[in-house]
Every structure is written in C-alpha cells, then in structure tokens.
Amino acid sequence: MLALVIITGLLAFASSKPCDTEGSNSELLLTLNRNLVRSLESPEGLPNPSVHLALRLSHHHNQAKETDHLNKLKNELHNDIQTSLSNGQAVTGTMALYSLALKSSCYDLNTISFTANDKSETLLTHLKRQMEQEKEHIAFSHRPLTNYYQYSLGVLALCVSGIRVNNHVSHKLIKAAENEQFIHGETESIDTNAMAGMALQCVKNSGSYAHNSEELDLTLNKIKQKLLASRRSDGHIGNEFSTGLAVQALLAMGSEVGDCSVSIEAMRTAARSNTYHNPMAISQTLPALQRKTYLSVKTLDCLNEDDTLVLEPVNPAVVLPSETKVKVLVEVVTASGAAAAHSVDVPKGSSLLEALELLERKNVGFTFQKESSLWGPFLSAVNGEQARQSDRRYWHLSSDGTALTEGVGDFKINATQKITIKNTSY
C-alpha cells in the first residue's frame, strides 16, 4: 500500500512538470551528442544507421562528421546489404534503418538501388518486397521471416518515406499486437511494442489504412497502455535500455506530459551515471530526451541547420587491469538441456567478453564464437553449438538468475557471480 502511495505521488508530481528536456539539462544533452559523434571514429564494425538517425534528429550538429558518416553508410553498409541480398538473406531491419538514416539527411532515396536476380531496383522497392516476404511468411508460419521488431521497422521506414504501406502488411502487425505476439524468449518485448506503436501511428497519420480504422485505434491504445503498465517505480519502462524507444513511442502516440516526465527523468539520471555508454543505447535515448521520435524524420527539411557541435581533444584514458580478482562461474546449457560448468578468475571490472576470452584460453573445454551487431558483439556459438536466428534461437545470458540487459562487451564483472549461457528459442 505504501509503495502504491509513493508511486501515485511520483506520478502526480510528474504530471505537474513540463515534459521539458532542455534548460538545465542542456549540457547533459550536449555530452550525449558529443559521445555519439565520437563513436563515429571507432574502427570497429559497420557504420551504424541508428547513430546517424539520432545525430540528424538532434538540435546540434557537426555537419562535417555527419556528412562523412553518411558517405560511409552509402558505401560500407550499402555493400553489406547488397551482399546479404545476393545471398538470399532477409535484411528487413537493416534496410529499414538505412532508409531512415538516408531520409534523415534529406537524401533522395530514389537514387539508391540494389541488384537482386540480375535486376536493379530502388531501395524502397526492395524494402516493399522484403515486407511482402515477411507478410507471406506470417501467413503460413504465424511469424515473420525475421521478427516483429524488424517488421515494425519496415512498416515505419516505408511510411516515413511517403510510401503507402499495403493494408495487409499493416493488418498483420495489428493482429500480432492484438494477440500479444511481441515476445522475446519468455518475456514481453518493450522494444517491439514501442517500434510497432510508432509504425502504426505513422500509418494512422498517413490516412492510408482503409481496412478498419477502429481496430487500428484500439491497437494503438493497447500498445500505449502496455508500455505505461511496464513502467517501473524508478520511471524506466521495461529496463534502462528499452526506455528510450518506449518514450519515443509514447510521444509519437500523443501521450500527455504526465505519461513521459517520470521516464525522461529516469533516463537523465541513468545518463548522468554513464549507463548509456553504448552508442546504440545513446542513439535510442537522445531523441527521446529531446522530445523527438523516428516519426520526426518525415518533416525534416535539412535547412538552416546548426553546425556548432565541436569535439574537444581528449586524451585517451589508460585503464590498468585491477589487481583484485573475482571468480566467475560459467554454466553453459545446450538446446537439449545438458549443462557444463566452468570457472575462471578475472580482474575486477572485466567485461563478460574478456572473461569468456580468459576462460577459453585456459583450455578447459570451453570455446565460443561471436558475431557483430549494431549493439556490439553477441554469442553465436558456444562449445561448438550454434544458436542461429534462422532457427529462432539465441544464447540467453543471465547473472545469478537475472537476465542481462547488456551485451557481452558491455556487462562488467565486479563481483563473484554465476553466469548462465543458455541456448534458448524465441
């Protein structure tokens, strides 16, 4: 009862505050913005379209850096998507983010093309075809070719780019929301609900959905209420890393200021404690803190933009390994349920990835492989067993029974703990 009173009081306080993300917090926003620009200098992985999107939605710009990154997207990321298309791989999510990134720079999407089956067609034509394939896959297997997060991104990217989304494509997303199919593993996916909310709101705003407008409205309200019901007592929606997209969705769906103030303050608090050090996390959080959403891309005109964001020279910090060692117990659970246990002592403050690398070097029968993603490295194989997206499986990570909200490269080992790596279906 006391907790309810406290939460109610917090909500009442939030509703009396404006959903103002600037003023005294302007320096925090500039710091996040600078950190995002600095991330462009990292030589690791492909250029990130989500980072570009966030930079373009920001109030402050470094035009030279953004132009350079746009060129990298048009070369390196473009070539990677082309390779995937040539190999017959589904690239709905990456292609959608690429479209949004280009659109955010006011780039003419009709000048971007890909080749498949010896036929060259525009980016948006390929994205429409990807969405048709996703829709058909849902029809006979009751799930998308990729997942509903990528499916939602595809709907959003087409809609924001002024392309009329096939009613049947939108209807599949509405039905998935109605039937609560936005699941990752065994839990509700806040990220997917948020992305679906923004996609369907864009469809509603466009006036192109002629199937059943009342059904669309009911679905949008259901998603909105689900996001609000997932807000923790500290203001985060789901967890610290899903709050940015969730707030974007609430703002896009026209929430009152009281629906976002507590969550925005929670993100500010997390940002001040350096929770958002991963560029992908910043890219989803910064727009929400500036009251922008991915729907805002539709109205960008790229005229008379700021160009005052200057990066001060920084001396790279030298982090010496801690002399304090902590024990990490690593349990690997295969798809069949068989378990194997290992242990390794690592310097306090090591990342989980560093701990696994130390364990592998001990030659105790533990091996792993990793792949890159926009969020950083993720485990693809452990002890010779694959967990493929094509098989609807992934390696679920937990620490002392609690699911990790960060990836292997970001999660830090600061105390003795048991890490469980489990081959899980979704």
Bridge-partner residues for 424, per DSSP? Answer: 394
Residue 375 annotated as binding site: no
Residue 89 annotated as binding site: no
Q: Which of 180, 277, 276 is nearest to 230 (CA)?
A: 180
Please answer whether residues 182 and 188 qualify as being in contact, where contact means their C-beta atoms are separated by less than 8 angstroms. yes
Residue 146 annotated as binding site: yes
Residue 149 annotated as binding site: yes
Q: Which of 178, 196, 190, 269 is nearest to 231 (CA)?
A: 190
CA distances from 147 to 63, 161, 218, 381 (A): 34, 21, 22, 21
- Distance (Å, rounded) from C-alpha 404 to C-alpha 275? 14
CA distances from 33 to 47, 197, 207 (A): 17, 26, 34
Q: Which of 83, 60, 19, 15 is nearest to 311 (CA)?
A: 60
Residue 148 annotated as binding site: yes
Residues 6+ apart with CB under 8 A from 371: 377, 378, 380
Residue 191 annotated as binding site: yes
Q: ∠ CA 380-173-159 to the nearest 5 degrees? A: 95
Q: ∠ CA 243-248-251 to the nearest 5 degrees? A: 120
Residue 404 annotated as binding site: yes
Helix (H) or strand (E) holding 245: helix 243-252
Residue 98 annotated as binding site: no
The conformational region for residue 212 under phi > 0 = left, psi -120 to 50 = alpha, else beta, is beta
For the CA atoms of the chain, what is the radius of gyration? 22
Residue 396 annotated as binding site: yes
- Distance (Å, rounded) from C-alpha 79 to C-alpha 265? 40
- Distance (Å, rounded) from C-alpha 348 to C-alpha 326? 6
What number of other Cβ atoms are within 10 A of residue 95's Cβ? 26
List residues forming the annotated binding site for cyanocob(III)alamin: 146-150, 191, 239, 284, 395-397, 404, 426
List residues forming the annotated binding site: 146-150, 191, 239, 284, 395-397, 404, 426
